[in-house]
A and B are shown apart, each in its own frame.
Chain A
Amino acid sequence: MAHRWTNTLTRADATPKAAWLNRRQIMAGMGGAAALLAAGQGRAQELVPNTLEQISSYNNYYEFGVGKDDPARNAGGLVTQPWSIRVDGLVDRPGDYALADLLEGLTVEERIYRFRCVEAWSMVVPWNGVELADVLAKVGVQSGARFVAFETVVQPEVMPGVRQRVIPFPYVEGLRLDEAMHPLTLLATGIYGQPMPNQNGAPIRLVVPWKYGFKSIKSIVRITLTDSQPPASWNIINGREYGFYSNVNPEVSHPRWSQASERQIGGGLFSPRIDTLMFNGYEAEVSGLYAGMDLRANY
C-alpha cells in the first residue's frame, strides 16, 4: 500500500541552504520592493522546504501554551516513551498497541508537503511517516465504519496550557473514512529523517496536507473508528469559524480574515504574500472526495 503517491516536490527542489540564506539576505537588503516583485514570480520557486529550525520553532500546540514559541520552549518534558495507542470502535482487532507494534512492517516514506495553517501562514515540511490507510488495514476496519476519530495525549504535569485550560482538552479531531484512507494522509513519525520533535507532535501525528493545520492532530494516543461524525476541537470551540472539513480554500474566508493568500514562514521581515491554492495545491488528488458537495456550506 505504501508509495501510492509520489512527491512532485523532492529534495532536488531544495535550494542548498547557503544559497537560500544568501537569497534571503539579498531580499532583506533590497527591501520590500524586491520582495513584492518576487511575489509575482511562479509558485514553484516558493516550494523550498523550511529548515528544521523553522519547523520546530514556530508551532501551534496549545497544550504547551498559545505563543508560537511556547511549544519549543515547553515541550521538552513530554513523555513519549513508552507510547501506546488505543485503537477501538468499529475495528476487527481493537486494543492498546505499542507504537512500534502498530508501525511494524510498514514502510516509512518521505513526503514533502505544503502545510497551511488556518492563520494564513504556511511551511513546506519534509515529513517521514506511514500512510494512515496502512495502519487502518492492520487493525481491520469494519464495514459499518464511516469516520475516524483521533485524540491527543494529556500530560497536565508537563503541559502548562492544559493547566490553564486555554481550550478544552484532550484535543480531538476526526476525518471521514475516505479522507483517512486517501494516499496523501499520513501518520508522521519524523521530519528530515529525524524523530518527530516534541513540539511538532511526537512521537506520532496526523498530516492531512489539503486541510488547515489544526486538522493534523499531534501526539496521538487514541484512534477510534465510528459510524457517525466525531467531535473536532476547534469545531466545538467555534463552529462558525472552524468547520469539520476545514479544507484549504482560498475562496471561503475565515469570518475574521481572508484565506486568499498566505505567507511562507522563513522569508524574514520582507517576506512576500503568496496566493493560497485550492486544497492547498492538492486539488488534482483530492477534489474527487468532495464531488457534488457545496464547499461553502461544508467549510
Chain B
Amino acid sequence: MAPAINRALRHVPAWPIYGLGAAWLAWLFWQGLTGALGPEPINALERRYGEVALWLLIAGLAVTPLRVWSGVSLLKYRRALGLTAFGFVVAHLLVWAVLDLQSLSRIGGEIVKRPYITLGFAGFVLLVPLAVTSNNASIRRLGALGWRKLHRLTYAAVLLGAVHYVWLVKGWPVEPFVYLALVLALLALRLVPARRPQGRPGPGAVVKG
C-alpha cells in the first residue's frame, strides 16, 4: 500500500501548497473585510490565521512519524507546509499588532506583560531562522547534520504555539486542548525507538526539492 501511495505522489508536486496557502490567507482577509467573519472580524481573523498556522505546523510535525510508522513519505511537502505555516504565523502576528493593538507601546507592553503572548512571540522568533534556512542553499551551507539540528527548533516552536492557544482561552473549550494533545503525541512518538522499514532513510533525513 505505502509504496503505491509513494509512487503516485511522485507526480504530485509540492509547489501548489504555496499557491493554495496564499489564496486561503487572502480569502480569509477578504471575508473579514466583507463581514463574513461576523461583527468582530479583527479577533476572528487573528484567531483563524493562528489556527491555520497551528494546523500546518502539526501537519509538518506528522510527516516523519507517518513515514516511520506507515512508510508513506510526504517529505517533499514538508518545506512547503512549514513555510506556508510561517506565512500564517506572520499574518496572525500582523493582524494582532496592526489591526488589534494599533500601537507600538501596547505591542511592547503585551509581549512583556502577558505570558501567553510572550510564549507565542517566542514561538514566532524560533520560527524565523527556520523559515530563512528553508532552502537548498542553506542546507548545503549548514551541512545536513547542522541543518537538521537547527530545525529541531520546530519542536519547541510548535509546542509554544499550542500552549499559547490553550493559555488564552476562557474555560475548557475542546479545540485548543486537542491541538496540544496532538503536538504532545507527535513529539512523544519521536522518543519511541524507530522500527523503521528496511532500506528507508532515517527519520530526520533531508530531502531536497
Contacts and interface: CB of A to CB of B under 8 A. Distances in A.
Interface of A: 28, 32, 36, 39, 50, 53-54, 57-58, 62, 66, 68-69, 119, 121, 164-167, 234, 237, 253, 256-258, 261, 263, 265-266, 268-273
B32 A269 contact: yes
**Which of A234, A256, A266 gathers the greatest number of chain B CB atoms within 10 Å?**
A256
B173 A66 contact: yes
Nearest to B109: A258
Contact of A58 (B40, B167, B173): B40
Contact of B98 (A32, A50, A166, A261): A32
Given A166-B172, A256-B114, A269 B41 contact: yes
Interface of B: 32-33, 35, 38-45, 98-103, 106, 109-110, 113-116, 167-174
Given A257-B114, A269-B45, A54 B39 contact: yes
B102 A268 contact: no
A68 B38 contact: yes
The 3 closest A-B pairs by CB, nearest first: A54-B39, A66-B173, A167-B171
A271 B171 contact: no
Contacts of A265: 39-40
A266 B39 contact: yes
A269 B33 contact: yes
Nearest to A123: B39
Given A68-B44, A256-B167, A263-B42, 4 more contacts: A54-B39, A68-B38, A69-B38, A266-B39
A39 B103 CA distance: 12
Contact of A32 (B44, B99, B115, B171): B99
Contact of B101 (A54, A256, A271, A273): A273
B172 A167 contact: yes
B99 A258 contact: no
14 contacts: A32-B99, A32-B102, A39-B102, A58-B38, A68-B38, A121-B40, A121-B43, A167-B171, A256-B115, A256-B168, A258-B106, A261-B106, A269-B32, A269-B33
A32 to B, nearest CB: 7
Nearest to A266: B39
B171 A66 contact: yes
A228 to B, nearest CB: 26
B160 to A, nearest CB: 16
Given A32-B98, A66-B171, A166-B173, A271 B38 contact: no
A263 B40 contact: yes
A273 B102 contact: yes
B42 A269 contact: yes
Contact of A269 (B99, B114, B115): B99
**Which of A28, A266, A268 gathers the greatest number of chain B CB atoms within 10 Å?**
A268
Given A258-B110, A269-B32, A270-B99, A166 B39 contact: no
Nearest to B115: A256
Contacts of A270: 99
A253 B33 CA distance: 30
Contacts of B170: 66, 119, 234
Contacts of B113: 253, 258
